[in-house]
Structure 1
Amino acid sequence: MSDSSGWYYCLTHQAVEQGKGCKGPDRMGPYPDEATAARALEIARERTRAADEADRQYRGGDA
C-alpha cells in the first residue's frame, strides 16, 4: 500500500518514515522516495558545504 504524502527522515528515531509520522520539527523532507529520505543527513551536509562555499565566494574567497 502506497502513501502519496512523501518520505521523511525522522531525526528523533534516526529512521525513514512514509506519510504521517513524528512531528514536523523532528523530521526532514518530504523526499520523493525512501532511498533519498535515507540520505537526508548526507544531502543536508552537501547543501551546507555548498552554501558555505557560496558565502566564501561572495565574501571574496576568505572566511
Structure 2
Amino acid sequence: MVAVDENAWYYCLTHAKAEKGVGCRAADRMGPYPDEATAKRALELARERTAAEDKADKEWKGR
C-alpha cells in the first residue's frame, strides 16, 4: 500500500484534473506536487522532462 500525503496535490489521469490528498488509485495519478497549479501542469511538466532527457541522450550518444 502506498502512503498518500493528504496535503499534497496529484494529477488524475482518469479524470484529467488535479486532486488533493486521497483520490483515485495511485496507478492513475501523477505526483505528488507541492500545489494545485503545479499538479494542473503535470502533463506539461512530463513532456518537458521527457524532451530534456531525450536531448541529453542524443548528446551523450554523440548525435
Q: What TM-score results when the alignment is normalised by the length of structure 2?
A: 0.89
Match of 2:54, as an amino acid? D
State, as a whole percentage, how many aligned pairs show the same letter. 64
Query: For 1:45 and 1:38, how far apart are their aligned partners in 2?
Result: 13
Q: Which runs of at least 4 in structure 1 moved beyond 3 Å after TM superposition?
A: none
Pairwise CA RMSD: 0.7
Q: Corresponding residue for 1:36?
A: 38
Name stretches of at least 5 consecutive residues in structure 1 with no aligned partner: none
1:6-48 CA-to-partner distances (Å, cap 9, x unmatched) read: 0000000001100000000100000000000000000000000
**Between Structure 1 and Structure 2, how many residues are aligned?**
58
Q: Corresponding residue for 1:49?
A: 51
Larger radius of gyration: 1
